[in-house]
């Protein structure tokens, strides 16, 4: 059985009226952040704390995964606008 990734799928929740609505994932992994910013994953690891992006480490050792809040990424990105 293949492991399911919460990053590639959009979850659906039922509303009180019985309709389905899609819910955006809250967290992004380092590769997703790097792809969105068109940077390398090593850049994200190196620069994230300097940029004020807080990572959430899940797991231990080499297999640990660092996740970032999608809202924080977009907030930082919005601050980078040139006026």
Q: Are 33 and 73 in contact (CB under 8 A)?
A: yes
Say whether pTM exceeds 0.85: no
Tokens representing 23 are: 């819910």
Give the burial string for 27-51 (b: 16+ CB within 10 Å, else e): bbbbebbbeebeeeeeebeeebeee
42 vs 4, more confident: 42
45-30-54-5 Cα dihedral, nearest 10 degrees? -150
19: burial class by Cβ within 10 Å (0-12, 13-18, 19+)?
A: exposed
pLDDT given at position 83: 79
pLDDT given at position 8: 45
Q: Convert the pLDDT of each residue in 9-35 to its tens digit.
A: 445 556 666 677 777 779 999 999 999
């Amino acid at each position: 059985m293949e492991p399911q990734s919460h990053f590639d799928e959009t979850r659906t929740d039922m509303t009180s009226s019985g309709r389905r609505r899609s819910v955006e994932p809250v967290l992004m992994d380092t590769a997703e952040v790097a792809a969105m910013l068109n940077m390398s994953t090593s850049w994200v690891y190196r620069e994230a704390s300097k940029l004020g992006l807080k990572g959430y480490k899940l797991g231990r050792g080499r297999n640990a995964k660092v996740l970032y809040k999608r809202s924080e990424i977009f907030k930082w990105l919005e601050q980078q606008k040139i006026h």
